[in-house]
C-alpha cells in the first residue's frame, strides 16, 4: 500500500509544486499528501488529483482570461477545466435516481463522442430528455479526472442544448481497429475489465437473466439484465435489445461497451453489439463470491460479490450504537434527518471498519446482524451499556477493544470514490489466527531466502 512510511514522497511533492506553479509550499503539500495516503488511504493518483483541484487557482486550462468558457475537443480536455464548452454526440444516455448528501435527486449520465474521442458525462440535475445519437452542445461544463479518465460534468451553471449544425461520422468499433479516436473493441477476459474499459468483445456463460420495463421519453421499453461469467470473473450486463438471451448459454459478445457506477463496471449491449452462440467450453467462476485482494479491486475500481480477507486496523467514527431515521433508515445527527427533518430516531448497531490485507486497505460497513455476531454484543446489550455509562460512544470503544488486529473475511459489493474502495458487507466472519503457525511459516520464508 502507498503510504509515507514506505515510499519517498519527495518526487510527488515536487510534481505537485510544479503543477501548482509554486503557489503552495512543499510543507503544506506534504501534509495534504500524507492526509490522503495515510488517513484516507487513497492511491497516489487520486491524492494528486484531489490536491490539484483543491489548490489550483480559478483560471484553469479550460477557462479564458475573462472567465468565459472556451470550446475544446474531447481529446483536448485535461480534467481540470472549470468552464468549458464541448460539442459532442451522445452515444449512450440514461437517467439515474441517486442520493447526494442524504437528498434524493435525478441525474443524467452517459458517454459523449466527437471525432477525437469519447468521454463519460454527468448532468447533475434532470434537464429533461436527451436522445442517443443526437449532437449536443455542453455549455459552461467543467471536467475532472477520475481514475485517469477525464469526465465532463454539467452543474447548475451549465446547459446542454441540441446542436443540429455539427455532424460527426463515428464509425462502428471493430476488432480490426477504428479511426476518429473511438476506442476499438478487443477481446478481453471478464476479470480484466475495469471502469476505464470502453469497447470490448467478451466470451462467457450467462448465469442470470431477467427482463424489466423502463420508461424512456414516455414510452415503455423492455431491457434485459443479468450476469455473464468466464473463468476469470463475472460482470453485470444490460442488454438494450432483445438478443433472446437464455440462462446457461455460452456467448461471444462483440462491440459491447462498459459503463461504471462508483467503480463497478457494467457490460452494456447496444445497437452496435452482436451476439453469437458458441460451442466453446468455458468454465465459469462459481456462484459464490470471488476472492480478491484490495490491490485487485483498486486496479478495477470495484466489483460485485467479492470476498476480502484482511486485518481490522481501525474502528472508524460512526461505529457502535447509532440513530436512524424511522422513515428512510439513514443515520441521523441530533435527531434530525436531512430528508425528513426532526424525527424520533430508532437505535441500531453498525460497524465501520478499515480492513488491510497487506496489499491495501478498504473501508467496510457491517450491518447489525453481523455486528452482533462478530462482537457478541446485541442491540439490547449495547443500549443498556450506553445508558449505564451515559455515553453512546462506549459501545464502539468496547467493540474496538475486541476486534482490533483480528482477521476478518467480508463479502459484498465494492464501490469506489475519491476516498478509495468501500464495501457494504453482506456477510462478515472473524477468522482464527494461529500465531505460532504463521511465525513458523514466516521463518521458513526468511530462511529460504538466505
Please state, in angstroms and as integers, the Cα–Cα distance from residue 107 to each residue in 37, 93, 252, following that order.
31, 11, 33
- Looking at residue 7, its pLDDT comes to 65
pLDDT digits (tens, 9 = 90+) for 222-253: 999 999 988 888 888 999 899 999 999 999 99
C-alpha cell at 355: 480492513
> What is the third-level CATH fold of 290-435?
OB fold (Dihydrolipoamide Acetyltransferase, E2P) (2.40.50)
| Domain limits, the chain | 10-55, 70-162, 186-277, 290-435
pLDDT at 3 over 80: no
d(CA 56, CA 37): 20
- CA separation for the pair 356, 363 (Å, rounded): 9
Confidence of residue 278 (pLDDT cuts 50, 70, 90): very high
List, as one string, the DSSP characters of 124-192: SS------TT-EEEEEEEEEEEETTEEEEEE-TT-EEEE-SS-----PPP-TT--STTPPPPEE--GGG
pLDDT at 179: 35
Topology alike, domains 70-162 and 186-277: yes
Contact 252, 190 (CB under 8 A): no
Query: Given phi > 0 = left and psi -120 to 50 = alpha, else beta, which region is 301?
Result: left
Q: Grid coordinates in use for 186?
A: 478487443
CB-based contact 421:263 (threshold 8 Å) = yes
Contact 139, 158 (CB under 8 A): yes
Q: Does position 62 have pLDDT exceeding 60, yes or no? A: no
Lowest mean pLDDT, pick from 280-294, 369-383, 432-446: 432-446
Say how far residue 263 (Cα) sits from the centre of its chain. Answer: 2
Residue 300: which pLDDT band, with cuts at 50, 70 and 90?
confident
| Cα(373)–Cα(370) distance, integer angstroms | 5
Asked if 397 contacts 243 with a C-beta cutoff of 8 angstroms, the reply is no
Among 259, 189, 192, CA closest to 230: 189
* Parallel, antiparallel or unpaired: strands 290-291 and 303-315: parallel
Domain 70-162 class?
mainly beta
Which three cell numbers mark 131? 436522445
- Report yes or no: 96 and 125 within 8 Å, Cβ to Cβ: no
- Residue 376's contacts (CB-CB under 8 Å, 6 or more residues apart) are 402
Across the chain, what does the average pLDDT equal? 82
Q: Could you give the percent of the chain with pLDDT greater than 70?
A: 84
Region of poorest pLDDT, from 312-316, 327-331, 407-411: 327-331
The three state secondary structure string of 371-429 is HHHHHCCCHHHHHHHHHHHCCCHHHHHHHHHHHCCCEEEEEEEEEEECCEEEEEEEEEE
**Rg, the chain, Cα only:** 24
Average pLDDT over residues 355-381: 93
If we measure between CA atoms, which residue out of 157, 196, 240, 168 comes closest to residue 45? Answer: 196
Q: Which three cell numbers stand for residue 144?
A: 475532472
* 130, 117 contact by CB (below 8 A): no
- Report the alpha-carbon distance of residue 388 to residue 241 in Å, rounded: 61
C-alpha angle 59-65-67 in degrees, rounded to nearest 5 = 70
**pLDDT over 90 at 428, yes or no:** yes
Q: What is the mean pLDDT of residues 341-346?
A: 90
Alpha-carbon distance of 197 to 303, in angstroms, equals: 14
Nearest CA to 24 out of 53, 64, 61 is that of 53
Task: Name the CATH architecture for the domain at 186-277.
Answer: Beta Barrel (2.40)
**pLDDT for residue 369:** 95
Q: Which three three-digit cell numbers place residue 285?
A: 467462476
Amino acid at each position: 500500500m502507498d503510504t509515507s512510511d514506505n515510499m519517498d514522497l519527495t518526487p510527488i511533492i515536487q510534481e505537485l509544486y510544479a503543477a501548482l506553479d509554486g503557489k503552495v509550499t512543499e510543507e503544506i503539500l506534504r501534509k495534504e499528501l500524507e492526509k490522503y495516503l495515510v488517513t484516507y488511504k487513497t492511491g497516489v493518483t487520486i491524492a494528486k488529483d484531489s490536491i490539484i483541484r483543491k489548490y489550483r487557482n480559478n483560471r484553469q486550462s479550460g477557462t479564458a482570461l475573462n472567465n468565459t468558457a472556451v470550446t475544446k475537443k474531447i481529446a483536448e480536455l485535461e480534467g481540470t477545466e472549470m468552464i468549458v464548452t464541448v460539442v459532442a454526440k451522445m452515444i449512450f444516455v440514461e437517467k439515474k435516481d441517486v442520493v447526494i448528501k442524504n437528498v434524493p435527486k435525478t441525474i443524467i449520465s452517459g458517454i459523449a463522442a466527437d471525432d477525437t474521442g469519447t468521454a463519460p458525462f454527468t448532468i447533475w440535475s434532470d434537464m429533461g430528455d436527451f436522445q442517443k445519437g443526437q449532437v449536443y452542445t455542453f455549455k459552461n461544463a467543467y471536467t475532472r479526472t477520475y481514475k485517469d479518465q477525464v469526465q465532463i460534468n454539467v452543474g447548475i451553471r451549465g446547459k446542454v442544448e441540441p446542436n443540429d449544425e455539427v455532424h460527426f461520422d463515428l464509425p462502428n468499433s471493430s476488432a480490426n481497429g477504428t479511426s476518429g479516436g473511438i476506442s476499438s473493441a478487443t477481446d478481453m477476459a471478464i476479470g480484466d475489465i475495469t471502469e476505464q474499459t470502453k469497447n470490448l468483445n467478451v466470451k462467457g456463460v450467462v448465469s442470470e437473466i431477467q427482463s424489466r420495463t423502463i420508461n424512456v421519453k414516455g414510452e415503455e421499453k423492455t431491457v434485459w439484465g443479468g450476469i455473464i461469467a468466464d473463468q476469470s470473473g463475472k460482470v453485470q450486463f444490460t442488454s438494450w435489445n432483445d438478443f433472446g438471451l437464455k440462462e446457461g448459454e455460452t456467448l461471444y459478445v462483440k462491440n459491447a461497451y462498459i459503463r461504471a457506477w462508483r467503480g463497478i463496471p457494467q457490460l452494456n449491449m447496444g445497437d452496435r453489439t452482436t451476439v453469437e452462440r458458441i460451442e466453446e467450453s468455458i468454465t465459469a467462476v462459481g456462484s459464490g463470491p470471488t476472492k480478491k485482494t484490495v490491490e485487485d479491486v483498486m486496479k478495477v475500481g470495484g466489483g460485485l460479490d467479492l470476498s476480502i480477507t484482511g486485518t481490522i486496523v481501525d474502528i472508524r467514527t460512526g461505529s457502535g450504537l447509532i440513530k436512524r431515521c424511522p422513515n428512510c433508515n439513514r443515520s441521523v445527527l441530533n435527531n434530525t434527518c436531512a430528508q425528513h427533518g426532526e424525527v424520533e430516531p430508532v437505535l441500531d448497531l453498525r460497524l465501520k471498519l478499515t480492513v488491510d490485507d497487506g496489499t491495501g486497505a478498504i473501508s467496510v460497513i457491517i450491518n447489525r446482524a453481523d455486528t452482533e455476531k462478530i462482537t457478541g454484543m446485541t442491540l439490547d446489550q449495547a443500549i443498556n451499556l450506553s445508558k449505564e455509562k451515559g455515553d453512546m460512544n462506549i459501545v464502539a470503544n468496547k467493540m474496538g477493544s475486541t476486534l482490533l488486529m483480528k482477521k476478518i473475511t467480508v463479502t459484498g459489493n465494492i464501490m469506489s470514490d475519491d476516498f478509495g474502495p468501500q464495501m457494504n458487507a453482506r456477510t462478515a466472519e472473524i477468522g482464527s489466527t494461529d500465531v505460532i503457525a504463521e511465525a513458523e511459516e514466516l521463518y521458513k520464508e526468511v530462511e529460504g531466502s538466505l
